[in-house]
Amino acid sequence: MKSILLACAGAMLLAGCGTGEYYEKTPQEVSSALKSAYLPVHVLGSTVVNSRVSQPDRNTVVTALLDRNGSELMRFVTTLTPDGTGTRVATEIRPPEGRNKDRAGAAMKANGFAMGMMEKLAEEHVAAAIKGRPFDMTFGTPPMAKGMMGAVPGMSERIDAANEAAAEFSRYQQEAEFEREYGDDWGRSAGDAADGWGE
């Protein structure tokens, strides 16, 4: 009985320490960085074409991966836990809410390797957003291979340039998709100084 109580007390102490990566930023700063971050969907193949970010509560930021029809395929759920002057950040991949949840969950379980890569991608997306640095396109590359690439003069710069070009093309595709669906007259339909708006 005493050992069970000690185990429970230990578990409670560990839970009190928080889980996830620690960042010396407030939860508000972290959530703001995540909500404004660009997810490079071009690294995910042709099925995922866009993403949508929401904040269901002050301690959770959800990045949903969307297909061409705007249907959610899966989501990165990032939990923010205040810790002193900073924040602990933990991200997990979950199936979408709604009618596709069970089917997506089964597909995720059946594809362990792919989901492992998705976890690495989600972690890199979150870390890059919070630290304010570019997304590292070599996120899935083993450390030894990264070292070998770094030893080749100009290789890192060429990889960065190629990935930035791909990211720019992906952003262009997402904007074109948005305009195709919602039109491009947002500015023209807004008010102006003549009607009291925009002053």
Domains located in the chain, CATH noted: 18-136 (3.30.530)
CB-based contacts of 135: which residues, under 8 Å, 6+ apart? Answer: 38, 40, 124, 125, 128, 163, 167
Indicate whether 183 pLDDT > 70. Answer: no
In this prediction, residue 18 carries a pLDDT of 60
In degrees and rounded to multiples of 5, residue 65 shows phi and psi of -95, 130
List, for residues 78-124, the tens digit of each pLDDT value: 999 999 999 999 999 999 988 889 988 998 999 888 898 899 999 99
Per the prediction, the chain carries an average pLDDT of 78
pLDDT at residue 9 greater than cutoff 60: no
Confidence of residue 149 (pLDDT cuts 50, 70, 90): low
Which one has a higher pLDDT value, 101 or 18?
101
pTM reported for the whole predicted model: 0.68
Instruction: Specify the pLDDT at position 35.
Output: 95
Asked if pLDDT for residue 50 goes beyond 80, the answer is yes
CA 131 to chain CA mean position, Å? 13
- Whose structure tokens read 């690294």? 43
Query: What is the pLDDT at residue 25?
Result: 97
Given a cut of 80, whether residue 151 has pLDDT beyond it is no
Q: What is the DSSP string of 35-72?
A: HHPPP-GGGG-SS--EEEEEEEETTEEEEEEE-TTS-E
Tell whether the model's pLDDT for residue 22 goes beyond 70.
Answer: yes
Which has more confidence, 160 or 66? 66
Q: In the numeric block, which tokens belong to residue 192?
A: 């102006």
Per the model's pLDDT, the better-predicted residue between 172 and 101 turns out to be 101
